[in-house]
Amino acid sequence: MNRPLILVSNDDGITSKGIFTLVSVMKEIGDVIVVAPDSPQSGMGHAITVGETLRLEENFIFKDVKAYECSGTPADCVKMARHFVLKGERQPDIVVSGVNHGSNTSISVLYSGTMSAAIEGAIEGTPAIGFSLCDFNHDADFSHTQEYIKKITLQVLAKGLPKGVALNVNFPAKQAEPLKGIRVCRQANAKWMEDFDVRFDPHGRRYFWMVGNFVNFDKGEDNDEWAIANNYVSVVPCMFDLTAHQSIPVLNEDWDILK
């Protein structure tokens, strides 16, 4: 009971390379339980399953770690872990998600299943971290992330996090030089500029494939895109409360229908 209980999830699926990296580090820190999707769920955001059945099966893929694969989304996985798998038992001391195979910087945090698993943990009042590697290559090297994953996790376990906050941690792709360190950042002002490629299936029926480019409008040096570009680990504190508090007095003052 002196070792923390760590819930591990992700959005790339229970067989992904990144989750093996995360589990291996978490085993050094505490007792680990895994509940992760049974198939890739990238880009699912904070979706939950309400119109279909959910399935949960034990998976023996990790040595000496209790693990379950779930047919649902990353948010479903955290809910299932807390309210079914661990119901009536000890609850996690921390939720960690990832390591995602690809960047979750800037606006991507809104679409990220990896971060939604972490944010679901924060909603439940548990310190939570989402880890991502900014490398989409099939054989991406995760080895340089392990030291920092351990450092950041131990720091959160020791110091806690503000209520309602989850950390969005991104790592640059591995380079010849070592990582320069950690930067606590804000989310960069950047977005995807989408387009839709029109295609036709063998039956001549039209379908669409979303394409586009990522555009960074941010010239600052205090954001996650700058940190990654300069070989730092970026740490962005994120909130699930999306209220634009500064806009409430503006609307109260300007809207005629409120007077």
Residue 97 Ramachandran class (φ > 0 left, ψ -120 to 50 alpha, else beta)? beta
In angstroms, the Cα distances linking 66 to 6, 85, 124, 214 are: 11, 10, 21, 38
What is the C-alpha separation between 242 and 186, in angstroms, rounded? 15
137 is in an annotated binding site: no
In this structure, what token pair is assigned to residue 13?
Answer: 């699926």
For helices 17-29 and 146-159, the axis angle rounded to 10 degrees is: 50
93 is in an annotated binding site: no
The length of the chain, given as a count of residues: 259
What is the C-alpha separation between 67 and 213, in angstroms, rounded? 37
170 is in an annotated binding site: no
CB neighbour list of residue 216: distance below 8 Å, 6 or more residues apart: 106, 188, 189, 190, 225
In angstroms, the Cα distances linking 174 to 97, 108, 129 are: 20, 21, 21
Long-range Cβ contacts of 243-250 (<8 Å, 24+ apart) = none
What is the C-alpha separation between 202 and 20, in angstroms, rounded? 39
197 is in an annotated binding site: no
CB neighbour list of residue 238: distance below 8 Å, 6 or more residues apart: 109, 115, 119, 165, 166, 167, 168, 187
Instruction: Identify the residue whose tokens are 């409360």.
Output: 241
Q: Which residues contribute to the annotated binding site?
A: 11-12, 42, 100
Q: Which residues contribute to the annotated binding site for a divalent metal cation?
A: 11-12, 42, 100
